[in-house]
Amino acid sequence: MESNTYKILTNLIESVDLLTKMIFAQSVVISLLVIFVLFLLVSNYRMRKAQVSALLREDFIQHAQLLEDKGDFEELLELAYKRSLEFNHDIHVMWFRAVALYRLGRFGESLNTFGNIKKLDAVWNMYEVDNYIEQIKESMSGPKSTPT
């Protein structure tokens, strides 16, 4: 009888041990699934946020270009300022700010902003940036005299 009880208890202990291992394995699998789902949610959120940001950037660029084309440089400067509050290092914001300042005759600020563009990305729109910088330097130093 003791032998039977011993076998039953041994089997019971093995069953409990096996059940514990199975529960642990299921917990690991469920944890991995939860982590994977969270990763997917975060990735999806970031992708959507990037898409929205790109759309907002395109809207900004189109609106800013329209204001520049209309010659409404005060409004362009205001638009660039508002956009810079959220996207301070956006090169497009800096570009339209620099152009507006230049067109408004605020050459010192414009030169500083064009310089910041070159620091941020030396090759972005390089020829136009350099052209504006040269024009600003010429207008700030006065016309060059030619020998007669």
Give the tens place of pLDDT for each residue, 87-139.
888 999 999 999 999 999 999 999 999 999 999 998 888 899 999 999 999 98
Percent of the chain at pLDDT exceeding 70 = 95
Percent of the chain at pLDDT exceeding 90 = 61
CA atoms within 13 A on the CB side of 129: 21
- Contacts with 136 (C-beta within 8 Å, 6 or more apart), sequence order: 102, 107, 110, 111, 114
- Rg, Å, the chain Cα set: 33
pTM of the model: 0.63
Q: For residues 77 and 105, give the distance between their C-alpha atoms in angstroms, rounded to a whole number.
A: 12
Q: Counting beta carbons within 10 angstroms of the beta carbon of residue 57, is it exposed (0 to 12), middle (13 to 18) or buried (19 or more)?
A: middle
Q: Which helix (H) or strand (E) holds 143?
A: none
Which of the 8 DSSP states describes residue 123? T
Q: Which helix (H) or strand (E) holds 51?
A: helix 2-70
Q: For residues 76 and 55, give the distance between their C-alpha atoms in angstroms, rounded to a whole number.
A: 19
Q: For residues 74 and 97, give the distance between their C-alpha atoms in angstroms, rounded to a whole number.
A: 10
pLDDT at 31 over 90: yes
For residue 26, CA distances in Å to 20, 23, 29, 35 come to 10, 5, 5, 14
Which of the 8 DSSP states describes residue 145? P
pLDDT at 61 over 70: yes
